[in-house]
């Protein structure tokens, strides 16, 4: 796939051209915050995004509340035809999360049509993360601020110009008219990549972390880790790779709705009998961490956390999943292989 080159001035005009054919979603300023929202013109887009917009891009594919069907005596399925979209300006950690969610939601035989239709109609153009912030740790969990694996194209800012890695045919459509990058330009990008990656945390030893956490399952480690947890849904709702949902019938509106749910909520695992297999925040905190670092690894061979740092940054009591992982790595749990 080709590597292209574009000036800042020209890049800033590109989304206006896309807008003729696509709905474009990109980080724009919404009050004090940044948010991935539908763009009306290029000028709205915030180009220098040092840290991730708090509300994750998964919401464009798995909306927090999605009407699955409506009923008024008879059922109406909801129209699933999607307009073609460009999702622009997310970092590689968020792009990776969307690809991870494909594992969960697109089973070959039984795909989630609501997810699949949005996913197929969207071209993902990521921007490399040039200045990762204090809460970032993509490199610890198998990613990179320059990761090209999960996007249709990746844009890297170098000395006020931009290198465009076209990664799929889908992505190529948006950049077909640009000139190819020259060797000297490519070298600049490679240098920058190495420099930024060198300042990032080292990769967790995946297998050891997996095994240590499994060994910790029945220990007091989780009591300690969860003691300050409030039990809110901030970490999971802002997480780009959490996907749990609950289906509710809104009888007044006559709609069947799918809402995000959170394993951190008391009611999440509460059964109709009144029994709750995860009765305290200890079991619930354990579940969140085990799902990311153990169950995802067992199921698809990679860690289910992309290191975007949102849970670290926005947890009201600063529970830090990086610290939990480090702690688990450095402890001896009974039954652990030495």
Partner 1 sequence: MPNTRDQKIQAEAKRLLQDGVVDVVIGFQKGTLPYKMQPCFISRADEVAKLTLNGLCSNNLAVYLNHWPKGEKTAIIVRGCESRAIQTLVLENRHARENLYLIGVPCIGILDLQKIGQQELQPVLAVQEEGDQVRVTFGNGEKLFKRNEALHDACLHCNHPQPLNADVVIDEAGLFEDGSFDKSYLHAFRNLSAKKRNEVFRAEAERCIRCYACREACPMCYCEECFVNHSRPQWIDSTIAPSGQQGWHIIRAFHQTGRCVSCGACERACPMNIKMTYLTDLLNQDMAAEYGFEAGLDAAAAPPFLTLGEDKGKFTGEQEEDHAN
Pick the piece of the chain touching partner 1 (CB under 8 A) from 61-69, 190-198, 292-300, 328-336: 61-69
Of residues 161 through 220, those in contact with partner 1 by CB under 8 A are none
Least Cβ distance, residue 66 to partner 1 (angstroms): 9
Q: Is residue 286 at the binding interface for partner 1, with CB under 8 A as the rule?
A: no
Pairing of the two strands 153-158 and 161-166: antiparallel
Nearer to partner 1, 268 or 302 (CB): 268
**Residue partners of 176: CB distance under 8 A and separation at least 6:** none
145/136 Cα distance (integer angstroms):
9
Of residues 101 through 160, those in contact with partner 1 by CB under 8 A are 131, 133-135
Nearer to partner 1, 279 or 335 (CB): 279
Nearer to partner 1, 106 or 270 (CB): 270
Nearer to partner 1, 4 or 310 (CB): 310
Q: Is residue 275 at the binding interface for partner 1, with CB under 8 A as the rule?
A: no
**Do 189 and 156 touch, CB atoms closer than 8 A?**
yes
Nearer to partner 1, 6 or 263 (CB): 263
Nearer to partner 1, 130 or 164 (CB): 130
Q: How many residues bind partner 1 (CB under 8 A)?
A: 53
b/e 115-125 (16+ beta carbons within 10 angstroms → b): bbbbbebbbbb
Least Cβ distance, residue 229 to partner 1 (angstroms): 9
53/313 Cα distance (integer angstroms):
11
Least Cβ distance, residue 180 to partner 1 (angstroms): 33
**Do 229 and 262 touch, CB atoms closer than 8 A?**
no
Nearer to partner 1, 13 or 253 (CB): 253
Least Cβ distance, residue 318 to partner 1 (angstroms): 4
> Token pair of 277, please?
């297999």
Least Cβ distance, residue 100 to partner 1 (angstroms): 21
Nearest alpha-carbon partner for 63 in 236, 244, 239, 259 = 259
Nearer to partner 1, 130 or 213 (CB): 130
Q: Is residue 33 at the binding interface for partner 1, with CB under 8 A as the rule?
A: yes
Among 259, 269, 302, 333, binds partner 1 (CB under 8 A): 259
Pairing of the two strands 245-250 and 161-166: unpaired
Q: Is residue 317 at the binding interface for partner 1, with CB under 8 A as the rule?
A: yes
Least Cβ distance, residue 310 to partner 1 (angstroms): 9
Distance of CA 7 to the CA centre of its chain: 28
Of residues 218 through 247, those in contact with partner 1 by CB under 8 A are 227-228, 230-234, 237-238, 246
Least Cβ distance, residue 98 to partner 1 (angstroms): 19
- Which positions lie near partner 1, rule CB under 8 A? 27, 29, 31-34, 46, 49-55, 63-65, 131, 133-135, 227-228, 230-234, 237-238, 246, 248, 250-253, 257, 259, 262, 265-267, 281, 312-314, 316-320, 322-323
């Amino acid at each position: 796939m080709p590597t292209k080159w574009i000036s800042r001035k020209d890049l800033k005009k590109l989304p206006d051209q896309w807008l003729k054919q696509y709905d474009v979603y990109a980080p724009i300023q919404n009050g004090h915050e940044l948010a991935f929202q539908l763009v009306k013109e290029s000028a709205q887009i915030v180009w220098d995004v040092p840290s991730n917009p708090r509300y994750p891009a998964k919401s464009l594919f798995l909306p927090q509340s999605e009407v699955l069907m409506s009923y008024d005596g008879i059922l109406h399925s909801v129209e699933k035809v999607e307009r073609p979209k460009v999702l622009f300006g997310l970092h590689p950690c968020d792009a990776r999360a969307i690809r991870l969610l494909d594992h969960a939601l697109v089973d070959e035989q039984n795909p989630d049509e609501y997810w699949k239709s949005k996913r197929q109609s969207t071209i993902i153009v990521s921007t490399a993360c040039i200045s990762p912030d204090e809460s970032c740790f993509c490199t610890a969990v198998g990613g990179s601020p320059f990761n090209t694996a999960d996007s249709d194209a990746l844009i890297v800012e170098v000395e006020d110009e931009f290198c465009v890695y076209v990664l799929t045919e889908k992505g190529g459509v948006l950049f077909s008219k640009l000139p190819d990058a020259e060797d000297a330009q490519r070298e600049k990008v490679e240098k920058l990549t190495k420099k930024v990656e060198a300042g990032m945390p080292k990769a967790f030893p995946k297998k050891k972390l997996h095994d240590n956490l499994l060994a910790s399952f029945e220990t007091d480690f989780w009591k300690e880790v969860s003691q300050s947890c409030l039990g809110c849904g901030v970490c999971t709702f802002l997480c780009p790779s959490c996907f749990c949902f609950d289906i509710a019938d809104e009888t007044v509106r006559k709609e069947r709705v799918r809402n995000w749910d959170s394993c951190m909520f008391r009611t999440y695992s509460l059964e109709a009998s009144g029994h709750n297999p995860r009765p305290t925040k200890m079991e619930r905190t354990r579940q969140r961490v085990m799902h990311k670092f153990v169950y995802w690894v067992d199921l698809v061979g990679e860690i289910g956390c992309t290191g975007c740092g949102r849970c670290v940054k926005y947890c009201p009591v600063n529970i830090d999943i990086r610290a939990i992982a480090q702690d688990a790595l450095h402890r001896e749990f009974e039954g652990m292989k030495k």
